[in-house]
Structure formats: C-alpha cells, structure tokens
Amino acid sequence: MENHPLLRSLANWPGRGPTQLAFGGRGFAIHLDWQMRTKQFCGEQEHLLDRYWDEVALETMQSLGQGAPDQRAFVIQPMYRSTFLDQLFETRDFLEPRFPSPPLIKCLFDREKKILLDAEFREKEAAFFEHLQKSESQRMGIETAGWSGKKRDVVPFVDRFCKGVAFQPHRNRWRKKIDNGLVFEVAVDLAGNPYCITPPLAFRIFHVNDPKYLFEMVGAVVLNRLVPGFVVYGRCNDASDYVLGIRAHIELFDVIAGSFGQAL
C-alpha cells in the first residue's frame, strides 16, 4: 500500500450516495434517470445494483481511477477493497469470448450487449436520454451564445461555470483549495482534434504536501464510476448538450471537492 497524503485524504470520501444527492440538489437529474432505467431493465437483480455501484465508486476514488473494479485489477491498490465485488468476481459465470471483460452483474452485461447488438433498442435509449438532455438544458437556462464547436472556444464557458462555484483562475486552469490540503483543478483539454467530440475537460486532485502525485480524470469515464449514469452528460449532439455537459462536469467536480471540507 502506497503512503501519500492524497490517498489518505481520499479515503475520507463519503461515497456515491451523498455525492449524487448533492449533485441532484443542484438541479441535475439525468444520472438518476439512468439508474432508474437500468434498475427497471435488471428486474430481479435490481437489489444488487446500489451496493455494486457504491463499492465500485469507493474503489475508484481510492485507487485514483487507476483500476478496473470489474476485473479486480488495480495499478494503485485502494485502502478499501470490496469483499462483495471479490465474491461477484469469483462466482461470475457469464464470460463470452466476444466480451472478455463484462460487468460483475449479469443484467448490466445483458444491457450493454443489447445496446451494442440491438439497433432498435440502442436508438430508443439514445432518443430517451436526448430528450432528457434537452429538457434539463431548458429547465436550467443553458445559454449557447458563443458556442462554435471548437475546443478553444470552450474556455469562456468553463471560466464562467468555474467562477460560479468559486474556482479561481490559475495559469490557464481553475483551482479550488480545501482546508484539508486537497487542491481541485479544472483544465480544458486542447489536445488532438480541434473540435469537440465530448466536453473537453480534464480534472486533477492533489495534496499540497505532494503536488506531483495526482488523481487525473479526462472527460466522464471515471466520473461515471463515481456517479453511475453521469456518462450521459458526455454524449453530445448539439450546442445545448455540450454546454450542459460542461456545466455538469464542473458542478459534479465541485460537489466532490465540497465533500472533503471547506474551501479556503
């Protein structure tokens, strides 16, 4: 087990439940709709999902996102290792050659396969969540003036949303310091394609006593393991989806920061 102040601090994260509740309290609800829709699909296995999501989130936070909980493989070993997930892994009996790394719960695997292989189901799901994105954008008063689709033009939106939650500009990034020594940092990811495919955001968490040891996240992949369903905010079809997604990413990151202490 590595000994870093960042790892010790992140071990105090209160978990998925309080985090997604606080995120929902800011007006964001698509992640909850995704979870409910997934539970409806799962039927008799629904009772396993909340604990599964909770345990995956804890391991993800404590391994700095550098692991695959479904494969029980970690670059950084979490201080908390889930015996529940270990048991699911040991008893998993639904591996298929085409899908060598499925989720630990079969109904989640079945849903992923159905989205991949059933075009009608895939299109129905996409339409359902596109409608939710449009409704949420309208309800939250999302404004798209100045949106071009280019990454460099994302900066004014990020600046506005970061300043709205008290992140301070710092060398082309935005920072918030917490009273336990953690620093939360937002940046625009300008690498690669100059046009946006998803909200082009990168996030870092580090401790002031060891600033080179980082928890780095790009986009929604790791955040989706902390709050299942968040990935929908990274799937964008037009300007309002992108601007909503940018705001959602920053607001969730701020919620996570607030779960560790007071801002300085």
If you ran DSSP here, which 8-state letter would residue 257 be given? Answer: H
| Euclidean distance between CA atoms 124 and 153, whole angstroms | 32
Q: What is the mean pLDDT of residues 57-84?
A: 96
Number of domains in the chain: 1
Dump pLDDT digits (tens) for 218-257. 989 999 999 999 999 999 999 999 999 999 999 999 999 9
51: pLDDT strictly greater than 70 = yes
Q: Would 227 be classed as within a structural domain? A: yes
Q: Is 177 within a domain?
A: yes
pLDDT for the residue 2: 72
**Domain of residue 196, residue span:** 5-258
**Assigned domain for 263 exists:** no
Q: What is the pLDDT of residue 19?
A: 98
Instruction: pLDDT band for 1, please (50, 70, 90 cuts).
Output: low
CA dist., res. 118 & res. 164, Å (int): 42
Q: How confident is the model at residue 185 (pLDDT cuts 50, 70, 90)?
A: very high
Tell me the pLDDT tens digit for each residue of 9-32.
999 999 999 999 999 999 999 999
In a domain, 231, yes or no: yes
In a domain, 84, yes or no: yes
* 89: in domain: yes
Instruction: Note whether residue 264 is domain-resident.
Output: no
Q: Are 180 and 208 in contact (CB under 8 A)?
A: no
In this structure, is residue 99 part of a structural domain?
yes
